[in-house]
Amino acid sequence: MHEHFDGAKALSQAGLAWLQKAEGLRLAPYDDQTGKPCRQWVAGATIGYGHLISREQWPQYCHGISQGQAGQLLQQDLRPFEKTVLAGVRRALRPHQFDALVGLCFNIGGKAFASSSVLKLVNDPAAPTPYPDLEAAWKAWSRSQGKTMPGLLRRRSEELAIYLHARYP
């Protein structure tokens, strides 16, 4: 496991603020696929800053949460993704690079991130992948159900700007 140059193992304040903005805050449950409010549990039921609600958690969250609870959920939800990035990256990262990778990992999932061409190219820019460069590999995660999604493309562009230039939107 490698640490950032500053020794941090968690998202920076700038990274957290960006991720909260990117995820958006919803204090009542909604269906992540449609964006519509949920009155009963469905696979993809979500609340707060992108917290997926399990069937077992539904009674706890079905009536909504406060902004403070949403922040606490996000902090808890981030830990496994931070650990996945730390475990997968085999070189030192600057805090903004770590932030961007955690943002991607949080959005696509830990298993997808761990096997991604993005991770391969971060570790070795000459690694053989189906993509000509890191930007193309990163933007490949802009598709859902076979189509490029404008919202995902915007998010990938933001993550890349953070990773490459420490430019937080």
- Let me know if residue 112 belongs to a domain: yes
Task: State percent of the chain over pLDDT 70.
Answer: 95
- Let me know if residue 86 belongs to a domain: yes
- Let me know if residue 140 belongs to a domain: yes
pTM of the shown model:
0.91
- Let me know if residue 17 belongs to a domain: yes
Q: How many domains does the chain have?
A: 1
CB atoms within 10 A of CB 16: 19
For 82, the domain range is 13-25+74-165
Q: What is the mean pLDDT of residues 89-103?
A: 96
Name residues whose C-beta falls within 8 Å of residue 5's C-beta, 6 or more positions apart in sequence. Answer: 92, 93, 94, 95
6 pLDDT higher than 60: no
Average model confidence (pLDDT) across the chain: 94
3 pLDDT higher than 50: no
Task: Give the model's pLDDT for residue 94.
Answer: 94
Task: Give the model's pLDDT for residue 4.
Answer: 44
- Let me know if residue 119 belongs to a domain: yes
- Let me know if residue 45 belongs to a domain: no
Inter-residue contact 41 to 53 (CB < 8 Å):
yes
Q: How confident is the model at residue 1 (pLDDT cuts 50, 70, 90)?
A: very low
CATH of the domain at 118: 1.10.530.40
- Let me know if residue 103 belongs to a domain: yes
- Let me know if residue 105 belongs to a domain: yes
Element containing residue 115 per DSSP (H, E): none
Q: How confident is the model at residue 7 (pLDDT cuts 50, 70, 90)?
A: low
Q: What is the mean pLDDT of residues 32-50?
A: 94
